[in-house]
Structure 1
Amino acid sequence: MKFPLSWLRRHLETEASLETILATLNRIGLEVEGVEDRGAALASFRIAQVVEAEQHPNADRLRALKVDPGDGKLLSVVCGAPNARAGMKGVVALPGAFIPGTGITLKKGEIRGVASEAMMLSAREMGLGDDHSGIVDLPADAPLGESYVTWAGLDDPIIEISVTPNRGDALGVRGVARDLAAAGLGTLKPLPTPKVTPAYPAPLRWEIADPRACDHVLGRAIRGLRNGPSPKWLQDWLVAIGQRPINALVDVTNLFTFGLGRPLHVFDVAKVKGNTLTMRMAREGETLSALNGKEYALTPEDGIIADAAGPEALGGIIGGAPTGCDETTTECFIECALFDPVRIALSGRRHDIRTDARARFERGVDPALPPLALDLATELMIELCGGEASEVSAAGTPPAWQRSATLRFERLAGLGGAEVPADEAVGALERLGFTVEARDAAKVTVAVPSWRNDIAGHGALDQFPGLDPARARAAAEGCAVIEPEADLVEEVLRLRGLDSIPPVSLPVSGIVPPPALTAKQARAVLARRVLAARGMLDCVSFGFLEAKTAALFGATPPELHLENPIAADLDQMRPTPVASLALAAARNAARGWPDVALSELGAAYRDPSPEGQLAVAAGLRAGQTPRHWADASRPVDAFDAKGDALAVLAALGVPMAALQVTADAPGFYHPGRSGVVRQGPKTVLATFGELHPKLRAALDIAGPAMAFEVFLDAIPEPKKRKKGAPDLPAFQPLRRDFAFLVDATVPAEALLRAARGADKALVTDVALFDRYAGDKLPEGKVSLALQVTLQPREATLTDAEIEAVAGKIVAAVVKATGAALRG
């Protein structure tokens, strides 16, 4: 937000210096971004008079001037400006002066054989606008030889402040002046109350066809006006803040946008089709030719102002070119409306339109100001352009913005961290425009002023279009609205000075900080690292895929179907991350890379409930195993997937001896080459196996493909270990091998479980290291070889004790499986 110091003084009666004003702005939270002193670059320029102006002897488009800079010594100047003439006054730059508009430093020279000792300047060369059609033509009474900066009032500093999104009132000079006056830096000047006498009925009427487009609107016409350039004081103000003067009518609307934070718009009555301006939502296919020269394709979510011919403005954002006012306008119609801040923000973002009107409407404007703003604008336009005003045309209902807020005095210290006397707090709020409704020793209830839409309160929240958008939406949806007490605490403290709040360090919760990750998060990180260490590439994929593909991997409840998918083939939440990895493997194979090892930590979706979203560490290997100098490459098999799954479980602290494998894997696995890893009969920790041939054919995966899932949420939390000495046996373990002849239908897991339970004090590990089936064995029989680890603790085992334990192991296996010990 930029404004000249002189503009601020039009609203604020103060004798404070620039330095004091800047310090106060920073102190009350309106941070100063910078101060521009335009006069500094123009300080050497003087008002001069052209004494003679003759045609250049050697150039048709140049003139040879004799210029008096005020000291009586005539300077020779070669000038190409068509308006250069004898007797006129302009601005001269002497040798050594820096010309800001061109970036050069002036030197004496010679142009086509004629000496040029100075330079007559245009507005663009001085950096004061875009006009380069001729040199600056000053009035005849401009004092010869005087500083141009002083005479033109360019020694007026330009202040730029940073305005936070909640302070829409500070996007007007009057709002800034109000804050400074409340901070004790002067007195806020009252706004005039003009008396506009209507001379004729309004030629246009308002209609609100859809309340979403507009809540309340006023309008008034002025006829018999003469539109043209605005006066110098107004142009100077607009140029100072980076705005381009257009014409008197448009410049007045910009003056109110930046001066009062109240955007206005003017229509040329003669260009409006019909006699009605309608506030409605845009229709499909409608477009707007905007004032910025661009064409916008509107959507049904855009609120517009339309006449009989169609859209004429994107309400609260930008006007349309067909009905814009120019020098031919003799009758205008002023629009002063209230729009929904959220809709303004969404439409502006949708079309990428950034205007000063949008910036104010999306933050919320003063809902009580439109009648006065319309009268003030009407009066100024008539003063500048002449004419007479019509009656006011209105539509909609003025919003019930009145609301109250309560401040408990103890919250100033408890929440704000500063001890503030109650009288001082109430006085600060009153200076900001709050009105006391009730007060006792503990609290005060105040009426919130209309221009402070960032402060919620008890009142008609859903009827107040200027209310802070997040709070308004929360109120409309029946959600909890943040109480305004914190806002009142902030107002009291910032008016007292934000720099006066004592710094308070955050409390230290303990000497040792708590873990940065929860146990679940730590498991996910560790699982990802384990899979990466096993040569698998970590993938990040969408949590949804095509419904017919998802059906290959499990149930697809209709509740998990996306109503508005980002693509037609991404319309169903996936039953397992394995599906995404399988599609990735198929895409790699189609591009000549069939050998892949992929993993992903993602979600599997079984139903819409929170419990139906499972955290899964999944992996898939396809094609051949990686080549290695010590091992030949081979096709991947189900045991690769089983090894990956068990490696993750082991790293996560799952006791491997307590696991068992069953053959009831989900249907997308091969029924004879897959399994389920369980901890007990009910807890499923993982699945693994080869993908079903039909599934591979459906996805165009030619070679073998093995996958696994580890269900991270199913892994039990590790038990807290009691502190003590580690269990380090003093004796060496010993290993014994056993080979059993068993029916081929008996799972190896049954033998392992029986051997582990034979002697729990001595048997610490049992592993299957060989399986043999062949012509030397009876039909239907296989040989399974187990290695059993015995760990003595009390003393070294004797041969007799080892034989006794071996007998227990054999007996347990024979009893459990019907196996026979091979000789």
Structure 2
Amino acid sequence: MKFSENWLKSWVNPGLSTEQLNYLLTMAGLEVESCEPAAPAFSGVVIAEVKTVRKHENADRLRVTEVDVGTGELVQIVCGAPNVAEGVKVPCALPGAVLPGDFKIKPTKMRGVPSNGMLCSGKELGVPDEVDGLLLLPADAPVGASIRDYLDLDDHSIELKITPNRADCLGMRGIAREVAALTGAPLTAPALPAVAVTLDERRAVTLRADAACGRYLGRVIRGVNQAAPTPDWMKTRLARAGLRSISAIVDVTNYILLEQGQPLHAFDLARLQGGIVVRMAEQGETLTLLNGKEQALDADMLVIADEHKAVALAGVMGGANSEVSDSTQDVFLESAYFAPEAIAGRARRLGFSSDASFRYERGVDFTLQAEAMERATALILDICGGQAGPVTEAVGQLPARAPVKVRVARVNQVLGLQLSADDMAAMFARLGFVAQADGEGFLVTPPSFRFDIAIEEDLIEEVARLHGYDNIPSDAPQARARMLAQPETLTPRGELRRRVAARDYQEIVSYAFVDSTWEQDFAANAAPIKLINPIASQMSVMRSTLFGGLVDTLVSNLNRKQARVRLFEIARVFLKRGETVEQPERVAGLAYGGRLPEQWGAKSERVDFYDVKADVEALLAPRVAEFRKASHPALHPGRTADVLLDGVVIGVLGELHPQWVQKYDLPAAPVLFELDFAALLARQPVAAQPVSRLQPVRRDFAFVVDESVEAGALLAAFEALNLPAVTGIGLFDVYRGKGLEEGKKSLAFKVLMQDTAKTLTDADVEPVVQAVVACAAQHGAHLRL
């Protein structure tokens, strides 16, 4: 919401500087996003009237003028503007004036002719102006007056970042009401007298969707002059609110939108056939909107129609088949209340937004329509002339304002204050709330313009805002801090984060809302959980994997010339299981680039599957994971493995699929993993074991197996034997080549044996050796000779 500071002060003037006003609004929850002056600083510029103009004797494009600047004497100024003429009134910078950019005006000679000042264009003063040449002022502009005062250039354009719950502040009326409540300054709203009805004509209004349209007002206005110019004061206020002037009638509807917070729409009466019908769109119905696009309408879209066709998408945008044009002489003016749920998401679904939909989606005051109608009618008649007919009103289902109970003691407990009931009652009155004493507190009925008051905490927040967050004491907590017991069977979440970070990964936080193509690419999920009202078209579904966010962050880093990237994220994913949605936590990581940072001590090598496998093993330690060949839609078909703990799959590890490497324009494939976070948190209690003082015994075995035999399967079989005195079994060599048949490989295992009570003899070791060899034979392996 952008508005003029001086416009606000015409409603309520709290006597604050611009900086103080901005601070007040921000601390009240209406964050000031920007504050820009109406014009840059300059001085010494007055309004002048050009009395004479003659050709410069030494220059074809220059003119010598004599201007009246209100001093009683004419001043000679040489000017090169094409639109200088006798009788015009323009800004004039006199000697001593300082223009934007610290440009100082001094008496000078131009091609031999003295010039004692400068006639100014809008551009030279930093004032928006579409005229090529001097800034032409109205004929009644007072000669000699300061141009800053006349054009109100000491004003500021303030832009507020309005949160969705404060739709009441999407108009000057609401902002002024808020400032008055915060400061106690009197609120002076413009008078809204009823317009004299001089025309006995009305159009029937029928509500066929009374739940979606709570109130609809319409009025016929005939004989308007569409070519009438919009007053400068209205153009200025619109411009400082970020809107450009279009035509008088459209400008009035935009002005009421900004002033009252009530969207209006004007139809060309000649293009309407019969009465107005507010209904839901029909199957296969289309409508060309004012933006020129023909839209197919869905059955849940509310439309304004005449007796034959839809003429507007209700609460969003008017139709091109009924728009006001230069030839319009009669209009039908609409002022309506539409339920937020009937408007929300419709414009975004069609790929655009509008000022009207932005307000209706958040909630418009459902008692404001009649006042806005009278105000708009009065402005149209004043600017464009014409005759107004009576207002036709149709009423549907309007929101109920349920009272909310608030306890005085609860407010003081939450805020740490000692406010009395009278103090709170005064605050509620300033906000326009109706507070009725009720035992230990109040029953507070929120006004029609506040849709965000539903529970006691909402009212506590209102008290805090009006009292002032700065005035709430910052007392230290007085509760006794007690450290909670940490179960030995659970790994602290912070420790897992530190483990990943210790492996040189950096944590990211990405959106849970993702592009639907990510779900298709990285999870083969053709039916993701869709958002009803996404915040952006590329964030329309809920993620079922963390891979998309990691790859997107990698691309962003590569675009910024980061050659080595290590990323991880701990977050929830969203999985649809029948009618329910599960939200398990996952930890996922990505490694790209060099195995080690660039250095002279080691050869530069690219990170591979086994590097990240080591990271996963370190994350799971002291538990030992198994890795089993697998397939995954996001990962390379031959370089992917499931991660298992105690025989249960807890995640996946692998290199990104070449198809996605190409699609996402990556120079090389990163390696990714994703694990179930709950499985990582579980751990076995630590059990003390004696350290043997005796020498261990090691036996090495080299088995010849077929290429199809997995080393992991053979290793798992050896461990399953659970042989006595065996403390460890591991693979330490894989050999292919000379001395072996085609299609064969050699796997070398080490077996460590140790006892804490005695030294192992051959009699103890030999049964272990025989058991290992026998087990290998069962898997088609034999000792290599």
**TM-score relative to the length of structure 2:** 0.68
Aligned to 2:452, the other structure's residue is in SS state coil
CA distance in 1, matches of 2:734, 2:191: 101
In the alignment, the residues of structure 2 paired with residue 446 and residue 767 of structure 1 have an alpha-carbon distance, to the nearest angstrom, of 73
Change over 3 Å in CA distance of 1:203–1:104 after alignment to 2? farther
User: CA–CA distance in 2 between the matches of 1:514 and 1:5?
Assistant: 56
Matches within 5 A, 1:618-629: none
Residues 694-709 of structure 1: pairs in structure 2 closer than 5 A:
none
SS at match of 1:486: helix
Distance 1:160 1:677 in 2: 56
Unaligned 5+ segments in structure 1 are 457-483, 533-539, 551-559, 578-599, 620-639, 667-674, 689-707, 773-782
Q: What secondary structure is seen at the aligned counterpart in 2 of 1:94?
A: strand
Give the distance between the partners of 1:350 and 1:751, measured in 2 at CA: 58
Partner of 1:498: 469
Note closer, same or farther for the CA distance 1:416–1:389 as it changes in structure 2 (3 Å cut).
same
Q: CA deviation at 1:430?
A: 1.2
TM-aligned CA distance change 1:324 to 1:53, over 3 Å? farther
Which residue is equivalent to 2:593?
none
Q: What is the Cα deviation at residue 360 of structure 1?
A: 2.6
8 Å CA contact retained: 2:229, 2:383: no
Q: 2-side partners of 1:604 and 1:446: how far apart?
A: 39
Q: State the 1:788 CA deviation.
A: 5.2
What CA deviation, in whole Å up to 9, does each residue of 1:717-773 have, x standing for no partner? 432215x6x7332221123579999xxx9x97899479744x45xx4346799999x
After superposition, the C-alpha distances for 1:107-160 in whole angstroms (9 at most, x for unaligned) are 6666677554433345555444424266524445x544332333x262653351
Confirm or deny: 8 A CA contact 1:748 1:784 kept in the other structure: no
- Aligned partner (choices 712, 718, 736) of residue 683 of structure 2: 718
The aligned runs of 1:84-163 (5 Å cut-off) are 84-86=85-87, 88-95=88-95, 97=97, 115-123=114-122, 125-132=124-131, 135-139=135-139, 142-150=141-149, 152=150, 154=152, 157-158=155-156, 160-163=158-161
Q: 1:817 to 1:81 in 2, by over 3 A?
A: closer
- CA shift, 1:679, in A, is 8.6
* Residue among 292, 296, 303 paired with 2:293: 296
Q: Aligned partners of 1:346, 1:247: CA distance in 2, in Å? A: 29
Match of 2:370 in 1: 371
The corresponding residue for 2:660 is none
Q: 1:279 to 1:10 in 2, by over 3 A?
A: farther
Instruction: Quote the Cα distance in structure 2 between the aligned partners of 1:298 and 1:29.
Output: 37
Identify the residue that residue 52 of structure 2 maps to in structure 1. 52
State the match for 1:400 in structure 2.
399
Distance in 1, matches of 2:574 and 2:432, equals 56
The answer to whether the 8 Å contact 1:77/1:118 transfers is yes
Offset at residue 492 of structure 1 (A): 0.9
Alpha-carbon distance, 1:315 to partner = 3.3
In 1, Cα distance between equivalents of 2:36 and 2:678 = 61
Counterpart in the other structure of 2:691? 728
Paired AA for residue 453 in structure 2:
I
RMSD: 5.9
Q: What is the CA–CA distance in structure 1 between the aligned matches of 2:245 and 2:702, rounded to whole Å?
A: 99
Question: CA 1:448 to 1:808, structure 2 compared with 1: closer, same or farther past 3 Å?
Answer: same
Alignment correspondent of 1:652? 620
Q: 1:561 to 1:266 in 2, by over 3 A?
A: closer
Tell me the distance in 2 between the aligned counterparts of 1:306 and 1:174.
30
8 A contact 2:38–2:157 mirrored in 1: no
Q: Is the 8 A contact 1:77 1:120 kept in 2?
A: yes
Unaligned runs of 5+ in 2: 506-514, 532-540, 548-568, 591-607, 632-640, 654-672, 736-745
CA gap 1:286/1:531 in 2 versus in 1, 3 angstroms: same
C-alpha separation in 2, matches of 1:69 and 1:646: 84
Superimposed CA distance per residue, residues 204-252 of structure 1 (whole angstroms, 9 cap, x where no aligned partner): 4444555687443211111233341233443443344444334443333
Aligned partner of 2:162 among 143, 161, 164: 164
Distance 1:607 1:338, change over 3 A: closer
- Structure 2: distance between partners of 1:171 and 1:771: 72
Aligned match of 1:422: 421
1:44 aligns to what SS in structure 2? strand
1:443-486 alpha-carbon deviations (Å, 9 max, x no partner):
21111101112223xxxxxxxxxxxxxxxxxxxxxxxxxxx211
Supply the distance in 2 between the matched residues of 1:643 and 1:149 (Cα, whole angstroms). Answer: 69
Checking the alignment, whether the CA contact within 8 Å between 2:586 and 2:674 is kept in structure 1 is no
Q: 1:750 to 1:545 in 2, by over 3 A?
A: closer
| 8 Å contact from structure 2 (residues 51, 66) kept in 1 | yes
Distance 2:34 2:679 in 1: 59
- After superposition, what is the alpha-carbon deviation per residue over 1:177-205, rounded to whole angstroms, capped at 9, x for unaligned? 22232234322236645234544454544
Question: 1:124·1:131 contact (CA, 8 Å) conserved in 2?
Answer: no
Do 1:223 and 1:388's aligned partners in 2 also have CA atoms closer than 8 Å? yes
The answer to whether the Cα contact below 8 Å between 2:157 and 2:240 also exists between their aligned partners in 1 is no
Per-residue deviation at 1:396?
4.8
> Quick one: structure 1 residues 355 and 64, their matched pair in 2 at CA, closer, same or farther if it must change by over 3 Å?
farther
- C-alpha deviation, 1:168, in angstroms: 1.7
User: What is the deviation of 1:351?
Assistant: 5.0
Native 8 Å contact 2:715 2:730 kept in 1: no
For 1:732-811, what aligned pairs fall within 5 Å after superposition?
732-735=695-698, 752=718, 756-757=722-723, 759-760=724-725, 763-765=726-728, 789-795=752-758, 797=759, 802-806=761-765, 809=768
The CA deviation at 1:529 is: 10
**Given residue 447 of structure 1, which amino acid in structure 2 is its aligned partner?**
T
8 Å CA contact 1:29, 1:498 repeated in 2: no
2:444 match: 446
Contact 1:121 1:136 in 2 (8 A): no
Q: 1:713 to 1:369 in 2, by over 3 A?
A: closer
AA matched with 1:85: E
Compared CA separation, residues 109 and 383, structure 1 to 2 (3 A): same
Aligned residues of 1:296 and 1:351 also touching (Cα < 8 A): no
1:256 is aligned to 2:242: no
Aligned partners of 1:194, 1:159: CA distance in 2, in Å? Answer: 29
